[in-house]
Amino acid sequence: MNSEITFFGLAIMATIFWGFSDVSFKKSTDPKDPYSHFKILIAIGFFMGLQAFYELSRLYQGGGSFSLRVIWIYIPISFLYIVSMGIDFYGYRYLRISIGSPIASTSGVAAGLLSWLVLGNSMSPVQFLAIATIGSGLVLLAYFEYKDQKEG
């Protein structure tokens, strides 16, 4: 149960920080500036690079070993992640954040479900409840958007 409380606390904290980042990304991506999404990508790439160097330094300090094979695996994955974020930020210029962000944020749900279904990892009832809550929120969001479009 203690790990579930930690998981829940970290999930709440991540949600709050994700909300702040979405607002800053929305405010920073101006549809009139054709390069605004690239500016955000450069900033994100910079901070991801800092994080990678920090993790490597911790690895060395902890007595871990360095392998070029790991770097060759990390670089394409990191590149694809940054490209997907670039597409996301490009889209934020034209979408309402109340619609784009919840849909983009479901990647954690998809990863959790796929790790359970495909890899056979175990999930607790609290984790299933979290996934059901997020799924219900998306269904309600779609319903209210449909209702709003029908009335408006």
Residue 5 or residue 37, greater confidence: 37
CB distance 28 to 36 below 8 Å: yes
Is the backbone of residue 95 left (phi > 0), alpha (psi -120 to 50) or beta? Answer: beta
Question: Which pLDDT score is estimated for 89?
Answer: 74
Question: How does the average pLDDT of the chain come out, rounded?
Answer: 79
List the end-to-end C-alpha distance of the chain, in Å, as a whole number.
47
pLDDT in tens, 49-63: 888 888 888 877 877
Map tokens 């979405």 to a residue. Answer: 22
Average pLDDT (105-132) is: 85
What is the CB-side half-sphere exposure of residue 79 using CA atoms within 13 A?
Answer: 6
Classify residue 39 as exposed, middle or buried by CB count within 10 Å of its CB (0-12, 13-18, 19+).
middle
Give 79-102 as a DSSP string: HHHHHHHHHHHHHHTTS-HHHHHH
- The phi, psi pair for 57, rounded to 5°, reads -65, -40
pTM: 0.52
